[in-house]
Amino acid sequence: MQTSSTQMTSASLIYFSSVSNNTHRFVEKLQLPEGQAARLPLHTGTETLLATEPFVLMLPTYGAGGGRGSVPKQVVKFLNVEQNRRLLRGVIGAGNTNFHDSYCIAGDIVAAKCGVPHLYRFELMGTSEDVSKVHKGLEEFWKQQSSLSAA
């Protein structure tokens, strides 16, 4: 159900970043044009975003517990909105290699549950190589998506 306080977004990249701001700093390094990236609210009590166009979701993994509790609650709330799930086209996961087998597992979980590809994984704030690969990868991904929808 949509309320008047729902913030609608046509951003092609929607992301969650905790107070550490690691994912936010990565998104800033992508230098996307104004309006192409939208950040999910930090607090679960805040109204979530409503996507109006297809998008890629970027999210960090919480904890190293083998999956349970790895997907941030704010992301769960966002994806519990059917329209948001329907417009999701891919996932980019952020994580910490100290989590070993759970590295970027939140991205794996969301991709599997929503039936979309886990496009890329990066550690913490990412390297300049990660930024370059994600920037190029997103351009290619959206070109492929537009050619698929045109067919």
Check which CATH number belongs to the domain holding 20 and give it: 3.40.50.360
Q: Which residues contact 121 (CB under 8 A, 6 or more apart)?
A: 92, 93, 94, 95, 103, 104, 107
End-to-end, the C-alpha distance of the chain in Å comes to 32
Number of domains in the chain: 1
Instruction: Assess if residue 1 is contained within a domain.
Output: no
- Cβ neighbours, 10 Å, residue 93: 25
Average pLDDT value for the chain: 91
Residue 68 pLDDT more than 90?
A: no
104 near 112, Cβ under 8 Å?
no
Quote the pTM value: 0.92
Instruction: Assess if residue 14 is contained within a domain.
Output: yes
Residue 5 pLDDT more than 70?
A: no
Strand order in the sheet with 13-15: 37-39, 13-15, 55-60, 88-95, 118-123
Residue 63, token pair as written in the block:
């904890």
Q: Which of 65-74, 120-129, 138-147 has the largest mean confidence? A: 120-129
Range of the domain at 107: 7-150
Instruction: Assess if residue 135 is contained within a domain.
Output: yes
The predicted structure's pLDDT at residue 80: 97
Q: Which residues contact 40 (CB under 8 A, 6 or more apart)?
A: 14, 15, 16, 48, 49, 74, 75, 78
Instruction: Assess if residue 2 is contained within a domain.
Output: no
Which pLDDT band, with edges at 50, 70 and 90, does 17 fall under?
A: very high
